[in-house]
Amino acid sequence: MFDRLEEMESRYQELEALLGRPEFATDPTRLREITQEMASIREAVETYRRWKGVQTALAENEGLLSDPDGDIQDLAQAEITTLKAEQAEIETQLKRLLVPRDPNDDKNVVLEIRAGTGGEEAALFAADLFRMYTRYAESRRLKVELLSVSWTELGGMKEGIATLSGKSVYRRLKHESGVFCFNDTPTTEKEGRIHTSTVTVAVLPEAQEVDVQIDEERDLRVDVYRSSGPGGQSVNTTDSAVRITHIPSGLVVTCQDEKSQHKNKSRALRILRSRLYDLELRRQQEDRARERRGQIGSGDRSERIRTYNFPQNRVTDHRIGLTLHKLERILEGELEELVEETALRLQAEALK
């Protein structure tokens, strides 16, 4: 680990020297590359330098243990105890900083929520989750843009798709993908039995054109049709709804929320691009998992990750064994503890 840190510090010094050369002042592309590389390793280098400072201080205080003055020995021993605790804390930080960074962490997110088993109860729960993530995003000052939504007649959500934009959105929410279970007693249940419904959540890094190349003429089939609302009512008077089929993969995306066919097609392409990018990421994860034991997560979205139990006011994340008894507050968007604790514990597993 320390050999790697030495290499990083040497590289950082090289980059600092390069920044001082006059030729880079007139080359904005190269200047940007250098500053970005420096930024990517700066925290690790600065933390390593703190560790070296602690090592120097430890050596100095250990030398004072042989001082004939007993008071100086006592002070040195107390300082050594403090420094060793700081050393252990810094080494933990260094290990975290050396875990390979996910290149998608700074990307925006395409959030997809779909009702699963449970009929109307699942759809109502899907609407609750969609609102929960929206409120969380707003509390973090993230921009939310609704791309597509399909409602039930009772106000439930069959499917909702939105983009969340802002700083490190994917890093915060990437562990939210999976199947969520919902335990409650429906108002129509006369015997008081608890029913279980499921909702699927997918958090996809939003792909750009440079991430996924699509040949629109060869790879896509675009169909337009008239949008319809609840009960089959016409939403638009023109055929503005768009269905895009990606022929190579078989993926199908529909969008009908805008009155403009052009806007619906643009939104559908954004969703399709992110789904194709996610497919490729999952393929890479599966390849790595076969090659390397201990891979955390396979990208499989079929496993249950969390249960929301209304009668017990309880939320349990099954991956890390965390239970919180504040379901109502979480559904109001107070997700920070769940999000951060899940990320920390999964990162600890990756470090192992």
Mean pLDDT of 227-235: 51
Left, alpha or beta for 294 (phi > 0: left; psi -120 to 50: alpha)?
left
pLDDT single digits (tens) 254-268: 888 777 888 888 888
Angle among Cα 188, 316, 278 to the nearest 5 degrees reads: 95
Q: What percent of the chain has pLDDT over 70?
A: 88
- For tokens 């052009």, name the residue: 262
Q: Where are the domains of the chain?
A: 2-98, 109-351
- Pick the more confident residue, 328 or 168: 328
Would you tell me which CATH number, out of the four given (3.40.50.970, 3.30.70.890, 3.30.70.1660, 3.40.50.720), belongs to the domain 109-351? Answer: 3.30.70.1660
Is 289's pLDDT higher than 70? no
* Rg of the chain, C-alpha, whole Å: 26
> Within its chain, how far is the Cα of 123 from the centroid?
24
pLDDT of residue 228: 61
Closest listed residue to residue 111, CA positions, set 137, 77, 73, 93: 137
DSSP alpha helix (H) spans, the chain: 2-19, 28-63, 70-98, 119-139, 169-173, 216-219, 261-291, 327-331, 336-351
Mean pLDDT of 70-89: 93
pLDDT single digits (tens) 110-144: 999 999 988 889 999 999 999 999 999 999 999 99
Which of 91-95, 296-300, 302-306, 331-335 shows the lowest per-residue confidence on average (mean pLDDT)?
296-300
The CA distances from residue 194 to 82, 127, 191, 308, 337, in Å, are: 53, 20, 9, 12, 27
